[in-house]
Amino acid sequence: MPTETITQEHRALGITAAAPWRVRTVAVLPNYCLSVTCNDDTSGIVDMSRLISSEQAGIFAALKDEKLFNQVRIELGALTWPNGADLDPAWVHEEIRKNKTWLVPE
């Protein structure tokens, strides 16, 4: 069953997630994929399977553990994991806007 996280506005200090490339919702899908929607309603699939299986995965290699992968959260509009891995929200927005499905490169 997919889990979904919805970002909260960060009002402490008067900060709001206003940039269109900020991630608004994320749902975990099978096979290391995420369903993502941004502030401007751009939405699509982020497929991380190739990245986390790569020999150059670095910090993302730990996400092979599905329990850790499933702990994806939105922090200040970016997809993040408890181990410190994160994806640049501008890059996520650009790729899903162009292609609807983004196979994150190795």
Domains plus CATH for the chain?
A: 4-103 (3.30.2020.10)
pLDDT given at position 5: 52
Tokens encoding 86: 């994160």
Tokens encoding 4: 């979904």
The 8-class DSSP code of residue 88 comes to: -
Burial class (CB in 10 A: 0-12, 13-18, 19+), 98: exposed
Average of per-residue pLDDT across 74-93? 95
Confidence of residue 10 (pLDDT cuts 50, 70, 90): very low
The answer to whether residues 31 and 49 touch, using CB atoms and an 8 Å cutoff, is: yes
Tokens encoding 17: 């997630």
DSSP percent split of the chain into helix, strand, coil, nearest 5: 30, 30, 40
pLDDT given at position 8: 46
What is the distance between the terminal CA atoms of the chain, rounded to a whole angstrom?
27
* Dihedral sign of CA atoms 40, 43, 5, 63 in order: negative
81 against 11, higher pLDDT? 81
Is residue 63 over pLDDT 70?
Answer: yes
Q: For the chain, give the percent of residues with pLDDT over 70.
A: 83
User: 57: which residues sit within 8 A by CB, 6+ positions away?
Assistant: 51, 63, 106
Task: Tally the C-alpha atoms within 13 A of residue 34's C-alpha that lie toward its C-beta.
Answer: 31
